[in-house]
Amino acid sequence: LMLPKRDGLSVIRHLRKENIKTPVIILSAKDSVDDRVKGLETGSDDYLPKPFAFAELLARVQALLRRASGVSEPNRLRLGDLSLDLVTREVVRAGQRIDLQPLEFSLLAYLMRNAGKVVSKTMIMEHVWHYNFDPQTNVVEARIYRLRDKIDKAFEEKLLHTVRGVGYVLRQDQ
């Protein structure tokens, strides 16, 4: 992140803006959760704070190479009239652009990748926030509420549903 002539995050932003899909692992002395989240949301594929074991770095590089050689993920996720562009980070529903905060975007992307499947609060905390679940927090509920307000409130068909006692599901009503 702290490069001699340019900020590392701006380099990643430039790569992603140019649609360059080369896998990126951030190796940084900055190890706060906020720094890791910012790095991942900027377009990095992984974030490894220093100090780290070389064996872990090697395993992460090999995992990225396995994914890169497989079938690539589409740039755009769709569910009904909702679309999310993973490259430009644009969200549109029924032709209307929706502005999301970075964590809301990550949450929606996770839900869209798992469309039709019920995901628990624990799964969301682990995959979106990269935290172990804390049952005392309502951070997931708060973000779901704000996300629902943005993607569902102005539309007749609701896409984001609560499954009481289990979690949340993004799906079209049948």
Q: What are 114-151's pLDDT values in tens digits?
A: 999 999 998 998 888 877 767 678 889 999 999 999 99
Same domain, 114 and 149: yes
| Mean pLDDT in residue range 55-59 | 83
Same domain, 84 and 158: yes
pLDDT band for position 73 (cuts 50, 70, 90): low
Range of the domain at 160: 76-170
Q: What is the mean pLDDT of the chain?
A: 89
* Cα 109 to Cα 22: distance, rounded to the nearest angstrom: 20
CATH of the domain at 13: 3.40.50.2300
Of 69, 95, 114, the domain-final residue: 69
Same domain, 85 and 164: yes
Does 2 map to a domain?
A: no
Does 1 map to a domain?
A: no
pLDDT of residue 69: 66
pLDDT in tens, 149-169: 999 999 999 999 999 999 999
Same domain, 23 and 83: no
Stronger pLDDT, 33 or 174, i.e. the higher one = 33
